[in-house]
Amino acid sequence: MNTIPIDTVTFSVGLLVARVVIGLMMAAHGSQKLFGWFGGHGLAGTAGFFDALGFRPGRLFATLASGTEITSGLLVAFGLFGPVGPALMISVMISAAVSNHWKNGVFAGTNGIEVPMLYGVIATALLLTGPGLYSLDAALGLGALSTPVFQWSLLVIGVVGGISNLLVRRPVVA
């Protein structure tokens, strides 16, 4: 069997870069919805949008979705609590992809599933690899959170969470 040597320092630097960029982008995305930062619509605008998507009451679902995006993004960026942040991100991206983007095809230019799919796939990769050496988990000795059983369990929970959210949706009938 051929093996490819992996330098744990270089690997962890790569994870750090991916975690910080994806995590902070997701937190900013949630901040657009919740606070209106970075050109977002804020909670009132987002609540109306969620109502139109069938997530009623819109204000509750908008608060939960934006809070999940901010929380998951910060957990991922800091590498804290292992697969919890990525699982939360997966959950909210499944819901976004299906409820809002699926009907528009693949690419972001048509508001398709490209962006939530990329967030979800990267979150899945980060969930399965763990946060690496340069993370709060490593600094705090929380490496046990990145065991295969816990990782796979949280992956399932994230997927089930996204699907469950879609099942409580009440689409508007034209």
- Helix/strand/coil (H, E, C) string of 43-56? HHHHHHHHHHHCCC
Question: Per the domain annotation, does 155 fall within a domain?
Answer: yes
Report d(CA 32, CA 27) in Å as an integer: 9
Report d(CA 139, CA 160) in Å as an integer: 31
Domain extent at residue 111: 8-167
Q: Which tokens in the block code for residue 160?
A: 């089930």
Residues of the chain short of pLDDT 70, as ranges, are 1, 174
pLDDT at 3: 83
**Contact assessment for residue 83 and residue 150, using Cβ atoms and an 8 Å cutoff:** yes
Report d(CA 132, CA 122) in Å as an integer: 15
**Contact assessment for residue 62 and residue 73, using Cβ atoms and an 8 Å cutoff:** no
Question: Per the domain annotation, does 172 fall within a domain?
Answer: no
Q: How many domains does the chain have?
A: 1
Q: Residue 96 contacts by C-beta under 8 Å, 6 or more apart in sequence?
A: 65, 116
Tens of pLDDT along 28-77? Answer: 999 999 999 999 999 999 999 999 999 999 999 999 999 999 999 999 99
Question: Per the domain annotation, does 3 fall within a domain?
Answer: no
Report d(CA 158, CA 87) in Å as an integer: 5
Report d(CA 160, CA 116) in Å as an integer: 16
pLDDT at 2: 72
pLDDT at 174: 66
